[in-house]
Each structure stands twice: as C-alpha cells, then as structure tokens.
Structure 1
Amino acid sequence: MTESPLNVIDVLLVEDDPGDVLITREAFKHHKVRNTLHVVKDGVEALAFLRREGEYENMPRPGLILLDLNLPRKDGHEVLAEVKADAELRSIPVVVLTTSEAEEDIVRSYNLYANAYVTKPVDFETFIEVVRQIDDFFVTVVKLPR
C-alpha cells in the first residue's frame, strides 16, 4: 500500500530520554516514515508547543502526540489532562508511550482519555516495530481531524 502525501502529519514526541528520542528518530528513518517528528523534553515545553507559545509560536499543530509519562517539570498525566481539557487540543490523538507497566498508570491514562497506551519495548528492533505500527495505525488506518 503506497502512502499518499495527504497522509503525512506532524508528530509531537514528548520524551526526556535522549536514547528513546534517538530510537524513535531511527524508527521513523528505518521505515521511511515521512511524517515530521518534533521533539520536546518535558511537559511544560509540550504544552507551549501545543499552544504555540514563545519559541513555538510558528510550529504546526501536530496530528499525533507520543507522550511519555515520566517527564520533568510536568509529568505525562498532567499534560494529558490539560490537552484533553482544552477544546482546541482535545481532538489530537495521544498515544502514551512509556516504560511503565503499572496498572494504575494504564487506568489513569485511559481515564484521562488517552487514545492508546503502549509500553516501550527494551529491545531496539521491537521498539522500532512498535513505532512503525503506531504510525501505520494513526496515519494509514484511522481518519484524523485536520
């Protein structure tokens, strides 16, 4: 199946671990994902990016957010709560992509209206495959609001 240019979206990765950022970038390159990956390292920056504040005023609205839970300054649950409470942002799908397998984190994320909860694999090849599947699903399969 050939991806059309209409399916190219901006993806916001909210991740403070440089290794996970690198792996995600590699996954995008490896699978020739044409989406633009934007990266911020904490929850405060994520909200500034999404609200186009300060240095992020000219950034595009992402079509998908990949959100880690364990973030400095404002954690992923706080970011998720603010995004889903904001009428301008709530329609952006949020995939929680985290190392936590704790049931309370999973339940809390879905209670805050996360669109999906994915535990980061520790194996490089599996991590790349997970990122590819997320991309395939949210860019190729589902219809996203513009």
Structure 2
Amino acid sequence: MGRLVVSLVDTLADRERFSAEFRDRMMSADTQLTPATIDLLVTMGAVLGLVLGLAVAALGVLVVHQLGKGKLWARTLLTFVGVWLVITGVAALFSIGVVEGVGPLISGAGSIVQAVLAAGAIFLCQRPESVKWFLPRGRGPGKS
C-alpha cells in the first residue's frame, strides 16, 4: 500500500509531465482532446488507482483475518501473492541503481521491505507448528 501512495503522490506532484506525455500519445492517435480534459483524465487515473489500491488493501485485511481463523485457502493465497511480492522485490533490488527521482526510489525501497515481510510471512505459515493450525478441526497428526 505504501508503494501505491508514493507512486500516486509522485504522479500528482509531476502531473504536468504526465499530462504532456498523455497529450503526445493522444496526438499520435489523432484525437482532439483539450488540455483540461487531459488533466482531468490524469487526475481521474490517479483517483482510480487509489480506489483500486484501497480495494486490494481491504482484500489483504480479509485474507489476514482468515489466516487467523486457520483457513487453508488464505494460506495458499498468501503463498502465491507472497512469492510474487518477493519476485518484484528482488527485481526492485537489482534495479535500484538506475532509478531517477525520489518517488521511484522510495517506491523501490518499499517494494524491497514488502518482499522481506512477505518472505517472512510465507516462512512462518509453512512451519510444522503452523501446518497443524491450518488442518481441518478434529484432524491433526495421528488422527483419521
């Protein structure tokens, strides 16, 4: 979530550049958009990104809540999403030297921290003590 906030703040702080890039793309597509419309579209894109980010964060809270209840599907989802976060964190780690600007640098650092936390969560959910927690109730080791 932190990466999203940093990216949105960076986008809105440098809105003129994003608007100019968007205007150039639209001119190549031969559409007639006014500068006010382009500025509105850039702002609406940032707002839509924030709304979708909040929805993903709410879904994350739901998965964490279900982990606490011992739901196996939540552990599986955490594992898949966590592996993806680790992969993106490693990619950010190796590309941090070529990043220009403070916003992308902070976003990359957030990605690395997120990857470390996701790897820790995956490790803790796969330990033998945790596996017992995710077994269906009444079915533990040695029980049929």
TM-score (norm 2): 0.24
From the two aligned structures, give the one with the greater strand fraction.
1
- Give the number of the structure whose alpha-carbon radius of gyration is greater: 2
From the two aligned structures, give the one with the greater helix fraction.
2
